Structure 1
Amino acid sequence: MIYGKMWTVVRPTVGIPLFLGAVAVGSFSVHLALLNNTTWVKAFLEGGQSTKSAATSMAPAAPAAKK
């Protein structure tokens, strides 16, 4: 193991839960940032438009015919 000597400084009973807690906090903060800074994630989680109706509503309008 590359960092095998680390466990002589930090006990595994402290280091492993600390590492897993940091991963959990980081993951939670990324998901919270996505929810607060995007509109499509909230709509997706709330069961917004289906992909078929969303695709048709986001499609560009056909250009008007020139006379």
Structure 2
Amino acid sequence: MNNAKMWLVVKPTVGIPLFLSAVAISSFLVHVGLVMNTSWMYDYHNGAASAE
């Protein structure tokens, strides 16, 4: 494994939850950005038909 020496600096009990938390937070922010910046997403979640 190429990154084996990383665990000499950061313990896996700290590094793995930190990494997974960063992935979850960034995913949440991407989804919030999509909802806030699209005009059709609000209607879609409320069950409205497409205007096209």
- After TM superposition, the score normalised by the length of structure 1 is 0.71
DSSP 3-state at the match of 1:47: coil
The superposition leaves residues 29-58 of structure 1 with CA deviations (integer Å, 9 ceiling, x where unpaired) of 000000100012211111111xxxx3xx52
Amino acid at match of 1:2: N
Percent identity between the aligned chains? 52
- Runs of 4+ deviating beyond 3 Å: none
Match of 1:47 in 2: 47
Structure 2 unaligned blocks of 5 or more: none
| Higher Cα radius of gyration | 1
With the length of structure 2 as denominator, give the TM-score of the two structures.
Answer: 0.89
* Alpha-carbon shift at residue 12 of structure 1 (Å): 0.2
User: What do you get for the CA RMSD once the two structures are aligned?
Assistant: 1.1
Count matched residues: 52
